[in-house]
Chains A and B, each alone.
Chain A
Amino acid sequence: MDKKLLEDILKFKQRKESFCLVSKAQSTDTHIVSLKESSSSPLSSFIKKAIKEDKLLLVEEGGEEWVINPFNPPVKLIIVGAVHVAQSLAIMAENLDFEVTIIDPREAFAQQERFPNNKVICSWPEDAFNDLDLDSRTAVVTLTHEPNLDDVALKKSIKSQCFYVGALGSRKTHQKRIDRFLEDGIDEQSMERINGPIGLPINAQTPGEIAISIMAEVISALRYQKKSIKELRENWNNR
């Protein structure tokens, strides 16, 4: 490992490319293999597995012990509604290395000054969502309380690969949302993907507390990938 290698690691991180640091366990030989170039490596299958599972692998190959340490781009959090809760949530998520994007067509809310370190998109969710890649490392949270803003975002999200979908609003509001969606022909199973009322039940009161409850639920969905969100919710509610 040398200075050049560290510079290359930062370049890959900046370009948001998945890669592995591949080291001989017992000697100073460490190099970068990107996911794109991994096919030509004799350790190809291990490199792909480490990146996919986001988990370091220690393997033996060719009489040598190898450390394969994956680096994936940050997990993404898309927030619809540049409201007060969103300001707390964005700060918290950023601290946890999430890449945060805020969407709101209302100019009074979608101001860069309110979110100094995040990407703010001032447009309707139906437009903004066309340019987003809702992959399996993306969480979507809607916070506006306005069906004409939240609904489109939620409908697109539950059809995508994203690992978490949550909607702010009371039980009553959520029930109305469910009724609306069912009327629009969305099946119940898809509806179950929406966490509503959003967040873990810690009786949060202030915007900051609500942000903590949302963030905790996003993390539980990210880290308990083998369980369904519904199962997690039930476990928590039965505690």
Chain B
Amino acid sequence: MNTNDPIESALAWLNNGHKVAIATVIKTWGSAPRKAGSQLAIRDDGLMVGSVSGGCVEGDVVSNALEMINSPSVKLLQYGITNDKAWEVGLACGGDIKIRIESLKNNG
């Protein structure tokens, strides 16, 4: 298994009985650290594989993912220097990114 690949990791985690969510960068403005399409897989204990930024917002994406990981759902998040939380989890590069998190169904 490629332990660096979000999809492969997500599948292995589901097979081991974990709950899983996948975050995807769906839009970027300005100098965003990772291009649209970049993915981060999140396991129910907080372990993550992949990235949606240069490390700037992953922490917040993981806590959002953990809130919704128990049932299949979708959440949209936006980060940038215009965000109120800029000092906490904003992007240092001055770009803006929109992220879609989907928590997965484990249908055995």
Are A and B subunits of one complex? Answer: yes
Residues of A that sit less than 8 Å from B by CB: 1-4, 6-7, 9-10, 13, 23-28, 30, 55-56, 58, 67, 69-70
Separation in Å of the B11 CB from the closest CB of chain A?
Answer: 4
Contact present for A1 and B102 (CB under 8 Å): yes
B2-23: contact bitstring with A at CB < 8 Å (1 yes, 0 no)?
A: 0000011011001100000010
User: Of residues 1 to 60 in B, which have CB atoms within 8 Å of A's CB atoms?
Assistant: 7-8, 10-11, 14-15, 22, 24-27, 35-37
Separation in Å of the B3 CB from the closest CB of chain A?
Answer: 13
**Contact A3:B14 (CB < 8 A) given known A10-B8, A56-B36:** yes
Given contacts A55-B37, A58-B36, 10 further A-B contacts (CB under 8 A): A1-B72, A3-B104, A6-B7, A6-B104, A23-B24, A28-B74, A28-B105, A55-B36, A58-B26, A67-B26
A6 contacts across to B, CB distance below 8 A: 7, 10-11, 14, 104
A3 contacts across to B, CB distance below 8 A: 11, 14-15, 104-108
Q: How large is the interface on B (under 10, 10 to 19, 20 to 34, 35 or more residues)?
A: 20 to 34
Per CB-CB distance, the 3 closest pairs between chain A and chain B, nearest first, are: A56-B37, A56-B36, A2-B105
Partner of B104, one of A1, A10, A24, A25: A1
12 CB contacts below 8 A, A to B, read A1-B22, A2-B107, A3-B14, A3-B105, A23-B100, A28-B73, A28-B102, A28-B103, A28-B105, A56-B24, A56-B25, A69-B37
Contact present for A27 and B74 (CB under 8 Å): yes
How far apart are the CA atoms of A9 and B8 in the complex, in Å?
9
Cβ-closest chain B residue relative to A26: B74
Partner of B100, one of A2, A4, A55, A67: A67
Contact present for B76 and A10 (CB under 8 Å): no
Contact present for B74 and A4 (CB under 8 Å): no
How far apart are the CA atoms of A67 and B101 in the complex, in Å?
12
Cβ-closest chain A residue relative to B15: A3
Separation in Å of the A48 CB from the closest CB of chain B?
Answer: 16
Partner of B106, one of A2, A7, A24, A67: A2
How far apart are the CA atoms of A9 and B100 in the complex, in Å?
18
Partner of A25, one of B10, B11, B76, B103: B76
Separation in Å of the A134 CB from the closest CB of chain B?
Answer: 26
B104 contacts across to A, CB distance below 8 A: 1-3, 6
How far apart are the CA atoms of A70 and B10 in the complex, in Å?
18
Contact present for A30 and B7 (CB under 8 Å): no
B103 contacts across to A, CB distance below 8 A: 28
**Contact A9:B74 (CB < 8 A) given known A3-B107, A56-B26:** no
Most buried by B among A1, A4, A6, A13: A6
Cβ-closest chain B residue relative to A2: B105
B107 contacts across to A, CB distance below 8 A: 2-4
